[in-house]
Amino acid sequence: MRQPPSPTPARSGFARPSHAPVAYPAYAATARVAEVQVHASEAGPVQRRLANPQPSGAPLVFLVRRQAGAWVQVDLPVRPNGSTGWVRAADVTVTGVAYRVDVLQARHLLRVYRFGRLVSSYPIGVGKAETPTPGGVYYLKELLRPPNPDGAYGPYAYGLSGFSNTLTSFNGGDGVIGLHGTDEPQLVGQDVSHGCIRLRNEDITRLAKELPLGTPVRILA
């Protein structure tokens, strides 16, 4: 879980929200305004404000919990993990997401589902005992292209909405959990990282062309 220097958001052709009808009930909310006000409840007080785009340049995206009239309850890409809030429906565009990702840590395996059906599996590396990958349900919040595709993060790096429970900062970053490539493919299949999920470069390249922002990610034991 190292912070890549000066990454750029992946652009045309990568990680766009899907507008297709979905069998798997996942929905993403993409901000339409420069600042999204997050409320503690429907029409309740504002608890925080989030900028769009994100500091990385990626659009601000949420995973939708439910919609109630003019309000949408969403998962938030903030600490603590599992934070939720309400945003105005007028401030976001809600679209269907056909995919979900399951991370099976004990098996060092990542599974991709589309419309609820398993479509692919990949070997992964996960966090070491002292810096474990945190379990829970998160989502893909951004997709970056590290400046060196042969470096520690490979050609692509997704940022998840979750954060390390043991590191509050790392290499200039805020401890966000990533899903990225690696320059040490021989270590994939082991507990090797500071909490991120590592894939072989050819695998993360394929996923970067397939998985839209807002895709839910379940990290399991």
Say whether 19 is catalytic: no
List residues bridging with 74 in a β-sheet. Answer: 64, 85
Q: Residues 19, 108, 180, 194: which is the catalytic one?
A: 180
From 39, 108, 194, 196, active-site residue: 196
By the 8 A CB rule, do 95 and 215 touch?
A: no
Helix (H) or strand (E) run with residue 24 in it: none
* Count of CB atoms situated within 10 Å of the CB of 69: 8
Indicate if 196 belongs to the active site. yes
Q: Which two tokens stand for residue 18?
A: 């899907």
CB 192 within 8 A of CB 125: yes
Instruction: Count the Cβ atoms, other than its own, within 10 Å of residue 35.
Output: 11
User: Catalytic positions, please?
Assistant: 180, 196
